[in-house]
Amino acid sequence: MQYEQQIEALLAQMTLAEKIGQMRQLHGTGENQKNLVREGNLGSVLNVIDAEAHEIQRLAVEESRLGIPLLIGRDVIHGFRTIFPIPLGQAASFNPDLVREAARVAAREASGAGINWTFAPMIDIARDPRWGRIAESCGEDAYLASLMGVAMVEGFQGDDLTAPEAIAACAKHYVGYGASENGRDYNTAWIPEVLLRDVYLAPFQAAAEAGAATFMSAFNDLNGVPTSGNEFTLRQILKGEWAYAGMVVSDWASITEMIAHGYAADARDAALKGVTAGVDMEMASTSYAEYLAELVESGAISHDLIDDAVRRVLRIKFRLGLFNQPYANAAAAETLVAPDHLALARQIAKESCVLLSNKETLPLKQQTKVAIVGPLADHAADQLGCWVFDGKPEDSQTPLQAIRGLLGNEQVVFAQGLAEARSTDDGLFDEAVAAAQTADVVLAFLGEDAGLSGEAHSRAFIDLPGAQLALVDALVATGKPVVAVVMAGRSLVLGELQDKVQAILYAWHPGTMAGPAIADLLFGLDNPSGRLPISFPRTVGQVPVYYNRKNTGRPPSEDAPSIPTGTPLDPSGFTSSYLDVDHRPLFAFGYGLSYTTFDYRNIRLSSPKIGFDQTLSISATITNTGNYAGAEVVQLYIRDLVGSMTRPIKELKGFQRIALEPGQSQEVTFELRSADLSFHNNAMQKIAEPGEFHVWVAPNSLGGLQASFELGA
């Protein structure tokens, strides 16, 4: 705690008004904000960059009484100017090292614009693809999201937050925001405490342990108490059990939204509840500014509560070194979209693409004559995805541009077919069909425009929008092989598309370098290696569908076929399944194909039994049995067969990305500690229980090699 004395010295000089000022964050830099900054009554601004950021920071440092610098926050979610894949796509890379590097580049570029704080990573567990913000998440699994969230925190913050290119991270949205009922944004979440602790809190605890400078409380009501006034999650768990010394900022006006929630009577009550619960800084709304002084003076809250919040705000400012260097990192401003940033964006975009199906069509030969169609083929803005404030479409390299560059103009014919992703007008179909007829292969760039995901952008239908399937029908009718490349901010329902086309490459929204990354994969210059961080439903009626579900007392048969419509009797045997669709997802968590094949053999355990506080080694031999070099994501799953609480049928506990040449084998070894087997019981103790476990070394959450071991004294 190297800054604690400085914090105390500063605190001792501050008036109550100045303290409350540190607990406020406003958007923009209008006259009101400037005056507040001069008076020492504003601790932070958001959404300002460059000259505006410099000027408001200068006012704080040079013209306010105590010269306390501002936190300048912005949503740098998946890149600043160089845009990386949406976080859900980054999670599909199963490559935390690349994700860390991408966050580092984002921080570097942002630091050049005067930003010292990003509102990322978003580590809400998301199991409902209707929810538009699933795009910003790391998917459905707590283990994967924890690793990815930590990688992002490490990338943004580096080892030393005072370094010029480091910025403060913000773990958000604390907590349970992704469990909104029916996928409608801002909706209520009900999460039993064991699930909250094992799944929804786990990535946040990991982020806190990794030193995330700040947390953001969420919009949602959790189990009847809005998360921005939730003493249990903020005061008891975060600041109590986890002893978190960082700062909590509210989400945008989430303090005063407690009035609409029906949890606060008015803004004064909202301020009282927010600060009591442990929200140290109020974003955008002004209840703290209006009521905290009076609440202190009337004795409704203590001076100590205010001091605790202000210490936390000041601590971040000291950790960032803002008292020594409050301004933009000028050198970084020169690095925007630098070649090495673009190379990284291309690599992570490649590793995030998931090959979902391939009927011996991909990779294509470079001599192929291709027809490029579809609304996402040449859309420089949509390929960037949601939450892009500073990325510029003019930096984007689109698939059309990249494939033309690779094959030459004469081998490429382009006809968009649909003016935009949501268009239902088939007026351009004829042109697309004519283009298809001149080509060997049709490359159809389909999916969602950027505006179909992100905050407040939920969907109840998660099919390909507009007339895209009809366009595919028209293209398929030409008899030419059709390859679909899908860009989207969520998992989509793809069964019909899969039946129609020869291959599907799922690219999420890949960012600035979408074009070169996709071209590399389609033409075999590289081999797809992304794996799904969320399960893909067969129909929205299966949602939520996720791999680490419970077994139930009547588990569905693993080979139960879907039942033809009109079947008079129920052949499913009264098991937990559907009459009209297979209970399993169309594509499972962890799934993804390659141009080569991998053989899993010879699972071995270091021992058939481990004791508490011991470690088990699990090994298997993976061989590239195909004709292409490729990377495999080898996954480790467990199942605890009997517990004092029922346990999921699979739990991801590790993964390794390995690269293998054709014919090459590698032994992969995982270490499983007994602590990795623990979970919360109903008394909220985190324990591993003795008994039998299954363990899989697997290519995805469905298959793999299985063995058993016992945990016991």
Residues within window 37-56 making contact with ligand BGC, judged by CB under 6 A: 46
Q: State which of residues 22, 23, 43, 75 lies at the interface with ligand BGC (CB under 6 A).
A: 75
Nearer to ligand BGC, 46 or 372 (CB): 46
80 binds ligand BGC (CB under 6 A): no
CB 169 to ligand BGC: min, Å:
12
Distance between CA 410 and CA 706 in Å, rounded?
51
Question: Half-sphere exposure (CA, 13 Å, Cβ side) for 698?
Answer: 24
Say if residues 388 and 454 touch (Cβ distance below 8 Å).
Answer: no
Q: What secondary structure does DSSP assign to 472-512, as a single string? A: HHHHHTTTS-EEEEEE-SS----HHHHHHSSEEEE--S--T
Torsion of CA 184, 188, 189, 192, to 10 degrees: -150
Kindly tell me which of 173 and 647 has the beta carbon lying closer to ligand BGC. Answer: 173
Applying CB under 6 A, among 24, 78, 108, 172 the residue interacting with ligand BGC is: 172
Least CB distance to ligand BGC at residue 677 (A):
34
Asked if residue 141 binds ligand BGC (CB under 6 A), the reply is no
Binding flag, residue 186, ligand BGC (CB under 6 A)? no
CB of 157 to ligand BGC, least distance (A): 17
Are 169 and 208 in contact, with CB atoms under 8 Å apart? no
Identified binder of ligand BGC from the candidate list 84, 94, 117, 119, rule CB under 6 A? 119
Q: What is the dihedral of CA 292, 297, 301, 307, to 10 degrees?
A: 70
Least distance to ligand BGC, CB of residue 236, Å: 24
- Does residue 239 touch ligand BGC according to CB under 6 A? no
In sequence order, what are the residues at sequence separation of 6 or more whose Cβ sits closer than 8 angstroms to the Cβ of residue 138? Answer: 87, 88, 90, 91, 121, 122, 123, 144, 145, 148, 149, 203, 533
Answer for which of 101, 198, 251, 351 binds ligand BGC (CB under 6 A) is 251
* Nearer to ligand BGC (CB atom), residue 260 or residue 419: 260
Is 382 a binding residue for ligand BGC by CB under 6 A? The answer is: no
Q: What is the distance, to the nearest Å, from the Cα of residue 288 to the centroid of all Cα atoms in its chain?
A: 31
Using CB under 6 A as the binding rule, the residues of this chain from 86 to 115 that contact ligand BGC are: none
Using CB under 6 A as the binding rule, the residues of this chain from 410 to 449 that contact ligand BGC are: none
**How many Cα atoms occupy the beta-carbon half-sphere of 459 within 13 Å?**
23
User: Measured between alpha carbons, how far is 602 from 604 in angstroms, rounded to an integer?
Assistant: 6
Whole-number minimum distance, CB 456 to ligand BGC, in Å?
Answer: 8
Q: What's the min distance (Å) between Cβ of 84 and ligand BGC?
A: 17
Residue 251 annotated in active site = yes
Whether 138 contacts 377, CB under 8 Å: no
Evaluate the omega torsion of the peptide bond into residue 363 and state whether it is cis, within 30 degrees of 0.
Answer: yes
171/471 with CB nearer ligand BGC = 171
Interaction of residue 252 with ligand BGC, rule CB under 6 A: yes
Q: Does 520 engage in binding with ligand BGC (CB under 6 A)?
A: no
Q: Does 390 bind ligand BGC (CB under 6 A)?
A: no
* Least Å from the CB of residue 119 to ligand BGC: 3
CA atoms within 13 A on the CB side of 241: 14
- Catalytic one of 221, 251, 280, 520: 251
CA distance 631 to 95: 11
CB closer to ligand BGC out of 219 and 318: 219
Three-state DSSP string of 419-444: CCCCCCCHHHHHHHHHHHHCCCEEEE
- Residue appearing with tokens 């470079």: 366
Work out the widest C-alpha separation in the chain, in whole angstroms.
Answer: 81
Contact present, 270 and 255 (Cβ < 8 Å): yes
Among 307, 455, 463, 689, the residue binding ligand BGC under the rule CB under 6 A is 455
3-state secondary structure of 559: coil
Q: Which is nearer to ligand BGC, 109 or 198 (CB)?
A: 109
How many other CB atoms are there within 10 angstroms of residue 33's CB atom? 20
282 binds ligand BGC (CB under 6 A): no
Q: How many residues belong to the site for ligand BGC (CB under 6 A)?
A: 7
The CB-of-646 to ligand BGC minimum distance in angstroms stands at 34
Of 391 and 515, nearer to ligand BGC (C-beta) is 391
Q: Which is nearer to ligand BGC, 88 or 618 (CB)?
A: 88
Q: Which residues bind ligand BGC (CB under 6 A)?
A: 46, 75, 119, 172, 251-252, 455
Residues serving a catalytic function are: 251
